[in-house]
Amino acid sequence: MLPQRSPSPGPSSSASLPPGHFLSLQPSYSQPTVAFPSGAPSTSSHEANGLAPNTASLASADFEVDVRTGFLPGTSNVQRLGGKYEVWEEALDAARGGGKVGEGLIVGGKRDKERLWRDGVQSMPVLDTNDLCSSLPLLRRAHIVLTFLAHFYAHTTPLPTLPPSEREPIPIPACISAPLLTVSPLLGLPPILTYADTVLYNFLPVNPVIAPSYAVNPPSTIVTTFTNTRSEEQFFLISALTEIAGAEALRIMRQSLDELFIADEKAIRRLTVYLKKLAMQIDKISDITMTLMKEVDPEEFYHLIRPWFRGGDADGPQSAGWDYMGLRIEAGTSEAESAITEGRRGKMFSGPSAGQSSLIHAIDIFLTVDHSPTPEERAEALAAAETEPEHSGDSISMNSAPVSADAPAPAQASHGHGNGHGGEGAKPKSEATFLQRMLQYMPLPHRTFLLHLSTHPTPLRPLVVHYSATHPALAAAYDGALESLRRFREKHMRVVSLFIVQQARRKPSARVRKLIGLDEADETEADEEEKVVDIGEIRGTGGTALFKFLKRCRDNTTKAMVRPSGAGYELE
């Protein structure tokens, strides 16, 4: 549980930043070590070419936030592991069918091809990770390779025709699980595929030799996909492009926080300008997101790509989970593990979701959009959890009331994510706490950054409320930024409608049926008709009612406005 937010700062006459003011320092580009893989605390400032002392221990590099690339790494991602780890890369190449569409493994594991591949994986040695631990980029690549292998293995394991609650957990062989369980805590990630793996650590810029940047050297290539399709590559790449556009949003937020410390007339004028700029940058992020509509084929996304993302919780609370072989049952796996699976073999981690992007969380926190559950929602979440409350880990609780009051108690973890396969029919679970649960699926430094931001001593909203009568332009600029964020969420709902709702209703084309291993003989009469799908029934993997959740996020954005505007898009 975080410390409570401090009450409204009111006007301040102080012109100096307190020591350790987040983001006020430039990245240190320090080298990672075994003890501190995110890089040792900086002792030098970037601007001074490493000569000036940096007395703060909270330089943004220590949060792995780069001034040019935001939450994307500022240094090149590794494309392939060498040496003894080549065997992992080879297993991944084999699963992907050498990079050709239609040549890789198919979900379900019905064919000899999948069985032979799994046999091959089982005969792989259990490698130590000693040669990886001195390099953060190598650790990241190892997490990508091992989690892709884990998903390939889990989803090519044929499932018995039993209800999920009666199934054995899916075994993840020790040659994958043992190194994965060592590497994951060093990155502060759970032992499952995350947004960091598919997006943050998985891209190369136009010129990989120089640092990525939005204007000059944007992300242009994706290293690893399940299906080798252009759609999957674009899905990851477009997310990486939103992240690099987000670096500018973070820069504006940092400048705004500087002004909040000063809070005199001039500072308020500058803050007004920054908030207008932030609104424009959020619109840019929305525009980039909307390019998905033409760059990604919706039926390929839904039927071919998305099933690979399912995590161990994909069948809702009754999921059998994944059994990480070699794991001592009494040992915890990660902050993201739910209390429900502690001490049990079947672990229920969620697959990747853009809800794990720290960028939108950071914008929410900066603008004080409060996604924490209401008391009713908390009660509903507890009732839905049926058993004991899940482990909530770090949670960011906010309150967008004019003067921040009591923050709610830490929320119970929820189930559900957009990029899993759906889990339609599972019991609705606490969508109110989804975003808080997603914190545990972010790299630890990013999670720490968000926690730091959420406890900032001079938050924005109380000041805007304080000055709203005397400085209406400030309140209008603040509401304008929220309006842009609301627009982003509305556009995103349209994306979800096309890529999930509409596809859930249609049968895939013959081309996609072939790619997912269904031949004409598998077609039944029922397949010919459009399926009737109630959107209220469409769920994230673990049972989150998707549209209830997305609307809730949109409505929370509107609620933060000083002068709220009307409601918008409704899903049909």
Please enumerate, by residue number, every residue annotated as part of a binding site for heme b: 492
Which residue in 499, 518, 543, 545 binds ligand HEM (CB under 6 A)?
Answer: 499
Asked if 301 is part of the footprint of ligand HEM (rule: CB under 6 A), the reply reads yes
Least distance to ligand HEM, CB of residue 70, Å:
12
**What three-state secondary structure class fits 1?**
coil
154, 115 Cβ separation under 8 angstroms: no
Q: Which is nearer to ligand HEM, 316 or 540 (CB)?
A: 540
| Of 33-41, 80-88, 373-381, 410-418: span binding ligand HEM (CB under 6 A) | 410-418
Asked if 500 is part of the footprint of ligand HEM (rule: CB under 6 A), the reply reads yes
Q: Which is nearer to ligand HEM, 246 or 321 (CB)?
A: 246
Nearest to 326 by CA among 101, 487, 174: 174
Asked if 242 is part of the footprint of ligand HEM (rule: CB under 6 A), the reply reads yes
424, 389 Cβ separation under 8 angstroms: no
Which DSSP string corresponds to 135-180? -HHHHHHHHHHHHHHHHHHHHTSPPPSS-GGGSPPEEE-HHHHHHH
Asked if 45 is part of the footprint of ligand HEM (rule: CB under 6 A), the reply reads no
CA distances from 440 to 48, 178, 317, 414 (A): 35, 20, 18, 12
Which residue in 58, 172, 192, 238 binds ligand HEM (CB under 6 A)?
Answer: 238
CA distances from 298 to 3, 303, 420, 537 (A): 43, 9, 15, 20
Q: Which is nearer to ligand HEM, 198 or 334 (CB)?
A: 198
Least distance to ligand HEM, CB of residue 417, Å:
3
Which secondary-structure segment (H or E) carries 228?
none
Which residue in 92, 138, 249, 360 binds ligand HEM (CB under 6 A)?
Answer: 360
Torsion angle (degrees, nearest 10) of CA 384, 387, 393, 398: 30
Asked if 368 is part of the footprint of ligand HEM (rule: CB under 6 A), the reply reads no
Per-residue burial over 375-402, b = 16 or more CB atoms within 10 Å of its CB, e = otherwise:
eebbebbbebbeeebbbbbbbbbbbbee
260-299 footprint of ligand HEM as x/- string (CB under 6 A) = -----------------------------x--x---x---
- Count, residues near ligand HEM per rule CB under 6 A: 29
- Counting every residue written for the chain, the total comes to 572
Per-residue burial over 209-230, b = 16 or more CB atoms within 10 Å of its CB, e = otherwise:
eebbbbeebbbeebbbbbbbbb
Asked if 239 is part of the footprint of ligand HEM (rule: CB under 6 A), the reply reads yes
Asked if 357 is part of the footprint of ligand HEM (rule: CB under 6 A), the reply reads yes
Which residue in 106, 304, 367, 495 binds ligand HEM (CB under 6 A)?
Answer: 495
Asked if 418 is part of the footprint of ligand HEM (rule: CB under 6 A), the reply reads yes
- Phi, psi for 258 (deg, rounded to 5): -60, -45
Asked if 347 is part of the footprint of ligand HEM (rule: CB under 6 A), the reply reads no
Which residue in 113, 155, 254, 489 binds ligand HEM (CB under 6 A)?
Answer: 489
Residues that bind ligand HEM (CB under 6 A): 235, 238-239, 242, 289, 292, 296, 301, 353-355, 357, 360, 416-419, 489, 492, 495-496, 499-500, 540, 544, 546, 549-550, 553
